[in-house]
Amino acid sequence: MSEASPFVPPQHLSAWPLLETHAQQLSPKPLAALFDNDPDRANRLTLIFENPTELDQTALIADFSKQKLNDEILASLIHLAREARLDEGIDRLFNGAPVNFTENRAASHMAMRGGCPPPPGIGADTRAMRTFAFDLREGMFTGSTGKTIRHLINLGIGGSDLGPRLAVEALADPRGGIVCGIEPMRIDFVSNVDPRDLDSVLVHADAASTLFVVSSKSFSTPETLANAKAARQWLLEQLGEDADISAHFAAVSNAIESAVTFGIKPERVFPLPEWVGGRYSVWSSIGLPLLAAIGGTFDDFLVGGRIIDDHFRLTPFEQNLPVWMGLIGLWNTNFLGIQSTAALPYAHGLRSFPAWLQQLEMESNGKHTLRNGNRTEAATAPIVWGSAGTNGQHAFHQLLYQGTRQVALDFIIPIGEEGDPRQRILVDNAIAQAAALMMGRDINAARDTLARRGLPDAEVERLAPHLVCQGGQPSTTLMLPRLDAFHLGILLALYEHKVFVQGWIWGINPFDQYGVEHGKDIARALASGEVAGQDPSTAQLARLAEEFRLRMR
């Protein structure tokens, strides 16, 4: 693999000032007006991704027509990607170059789903973990009392929690169902070091049939280790000091010796390769809870991710889904000044998707240092937030309609099977929200709405301004035929590659997270009693917290 081309900040590329001009010209125009005299806009700005594993099967529809852009702007964005040598970046990503340039290693998480070869000399074998998970699912393991293990509690945080939690919520059958003639496996996730998180799970747990999976690449994550020690103590209290509690633990870690020292059997420690970043790890051994939950359909999840890898690597930018998503997000952030993105999945199974996306986008691209060591002049990752529909409509959508901030929106809509009228209501609401937030409601429409209610003219005039919605909230709609393992794999890989597109063009490293260590260093100092040297506010808070603890003893 040859050396990367010299980095040029995106503001110094010829497409950047052209895009600034486009933004100045387009900003005054209402978003809805872009459809005027352009009957083909929706069709032209929609990409349809066909499932390559089944002919004539649409796997995903991506409608970008409600974004505030036009054909000329899209062409300029693609030109920016070419000037930034995005094609070289994609090639380096898939060919094992050290795109994680601060840590000088590849980002080869795609290898876990077969989307690229693993780094030379390193395998991507997960057979032992898969065998363990399948045997666990089928009731092949017992605890120290001989009772069959039917409850898995995953102890992790960040990428060791968010990915598998999202996937299990999305794909596990909420109605249960008998597996191999035994009761279904219950799976819970604990991430917070707040004792209430673990306690709220343990109150429903039977120690004799519970297995804890400690998911930590380094096996030194303070929150996860604290919860693991608390789980060990709970097992001893419930089963007796002489119980073989090793029967109730497994681990996913790259620090095998540390896990064994903790008391986990070596054959139950499943490696997590160093080249798999935490927020990209659900495809790896970190997916053990998902395998236990869904069994063989885990392979469909991997296939979904892999076909997006192939699409991203091989498809021209003009039809490339992750490229469009990355460029349009960059357009919103850097040229329209939109600093916030709301993830709005209209599926209860995707209720953790906004949290997963928060980590993926903000931990990956929430940085200011460029490949050349300089500070960026461009805004990078937006603030990502959101909630599942229709719940969000009764919470924060009011701000989207009548607040003072512009927010970019991603609607994710699995259509689902026919049969339950509630599913149709859910989908109709999603489509309607995207339309209403774009179109808005002007003062005349507000007056008409009130007049139809039979209100007096004076009351119509008094209330009409309060019904006005400015509209103009740009959105992308991603529509899936259903929420299953295959389509979830497509969705997650799509966003992974979107993040890479943006990170490459901005010139930052999406694969490290040095910033989060700063606060951890201070927390470690406070835990060891090192208050001296802290700022006066921090020193005072630490002292007052200790006074509270002393009073409550």
Tokens of 419: 């049969």
Q: Helix, strand, or coil here: 259?
A: helix
* The length of the chain, given as a count of residues: 553
3-state secondary structure of 67: coil
Which residues are tagged catalytic?
Answer: 363, 394, 520
The torsion of the CA quartet 475, 479, 484, 487, rounded to 10 degrees, works out to -80
Placement of tokens 């909420």 in the chain: 174
Nearest to 154 by CA among 264, 228, 206, 204: 228
Residues 6+ apart with CB under 8 A from 153: 187, 188, 189, 190, 201, 205, 210, 211, 212, 213, 231
Taking the C-alpha atoms of residue 273 and residue 121, their distance in angstroms, rounded to an integer, is: 12
Closest listed residue to residue 163, CA positions, set 531, 551, 513, 492: 492
Distance CA 301, CA 296 (A): 10
Q: What angle do CA 6, 9, 12 make, to 5 degrees?
A: 105
DSSP 342-371: EEEE-SGGGTTHHHHHHIIIIIHH---B-T
